[in-house]
Amino acid sequence: MKELSGKAYAKINLYLGVHGLRPDGYHELETVFQTVELCDLVAVSLHRRGGISLRCSLPYLPTDGRNLAVKAVELFFRETGLENPGLNLNIKKNIPVGAGLAGGSTDAACVLRMLNRLFGMPLREEKLASVALTLGADVPFCLRGGTALAGGVGEKLHSLPPMPECAVVIAKPGFSVSTKAAFALYDQTERGETRPGAPLLAALAEGDLGGVCRGLYNGLEAPVAGQYPQIERLRVRLLELGAVGARMTGSGSAVYGIFDGTEQADKAAEALRRELRFVAVTRPLARLWE
């Protein structure tokens, strides 16, 4: 086997509670991750020229060691002690950048997974996850996918019942928000109490889509939307178009709306495409790997 290709799936946050600063300077998080079908296409192939070559469909993204996918390759060979015979990476980006959808993290996770297969599974699942964590807090989740409760900085994962069947419309305004900027805004903003995640977890256990939508929460949303009011306008617009619930995902700037069915989601997406450059209709996915 000299070539592999795969799908690197995006995630949304059904719940994101921020619980203050840790001694290491990061924020303690409680979040519910959900994989969706929206994905980048990633291919890895061997060549005999040595080194790492990355081609990406977005010309403005770095293709050197600043790219998480390249960092994943370097880390894989460092951790396994294997020699890099020369690798080509090819990434077709469908997940928007700077949107809170884990676009870079999921590409890195997909590369790690494929390299492990390509070289005979030298890293066991637990080791692969610990390696992934050094690339980013949400990379371990992107390795496994599905529906999961995460703690710590996002790395302590516990599987949850799958999200009820629904359609998800993801829309991104014409700007991006970095994770660092979002948490800086959070730290600068006076906040009320964090909404508890227990109602959403209970709704997932019962397969209650309405309850899931009532439990949606993102503690970063109000501070970020205070700086970027387009986010709140987009959330309200999704509700006006029939979404049962809508929230910003991650640190933004993308906003998602959950719909009972695909027909209504398609109509909402059609309306939004007159206003925004990026709009996608997708669905939740169950766990990718056991």
Among candidate residues 38, 43, 39, 71, the one with its CA nearest the CA of residue 55: 43
Work out the angle at residue 252's Cα, subtended by the Cα atoms of residues 246 and 256, and round it to the nearest 5 degrees: 25
- What pLDDT, on the 0 to 100 scale, is given for residue 290? 45
104: tokens are 């870079």
pLDDT at 25: 72
Give the span between the Cα atoms of 108 and 121, in whole angstroms.
17
Distance CA 208, CA 199 (A): 11
pLDDT on residue 52: 95
Query: pLDDT digit of tens for each residue in the chain (290 aa)?
Result: 588 999 999 999 999 999 877 877 778 889 999 999 999 999 999 987 789 999 999 999 999 999 999 999 999 999 999 999 999 999 999 999 999 999 999 999 999 999 999 999 999 999 999 999 999 999 999 999 999 999 987 778 999 999 999 999 999 999 999 999 999 999 898 776 788 899 999 999 999 999 999 999 999 999 999 999 999 999 999 999 999 999 999 999 999 999 999 999 999 999 999 999 999 999 999 877 64
Q: Residue 210 contacts by C-beta under 8 Å, 6 or more apart in sequence?
A: 203, 244
Among 159, 185, 204, give the residue marking a domain's end: 159
Domain boundary among 159, 179, 211: 159
What's the pLDDT score for residue 26?
A: 79
Asked, for residue 69, whether it belongs to a domain, the answer is: yes
- Catalytic residue (choose from 40, 71, 107, 138): 138
Give catalytic status of residue 172 as yes or no. Answer: no
Same-domain check for residues 19 and 140 = yes
Give the chain's length.
290
Residues 146 and 74 in one domain: yes
State how many domains the chain has: 2
Residue with tokens 């419309």: 169
What is the residue whose two structure tokens read 């390696």? 131
183 & 72 share domain: no
Q: What is the DSSP string of 180-195?
A: HHHHHHHHHS---PPP
What residues contact 258, with CB distance under 8 A and at least 6 apart? Answer: 166, 167, 168, 209, 212, 213, 216, 243, 244, 245, 246
Do 18 and 154 belong together in one domain? Answer: yes
Catalytic residue among 11, 71, 93, 172: 11
7 and 98 co-located in one domain: yes
- Of the candidates 159, 184, 206, which is a domain's last residue? 159
Q: Which domain holds residue 188?
A: 167-282
pLDDT of residue 117: 95
**CATH number, residue 117:** 3.30.230.10
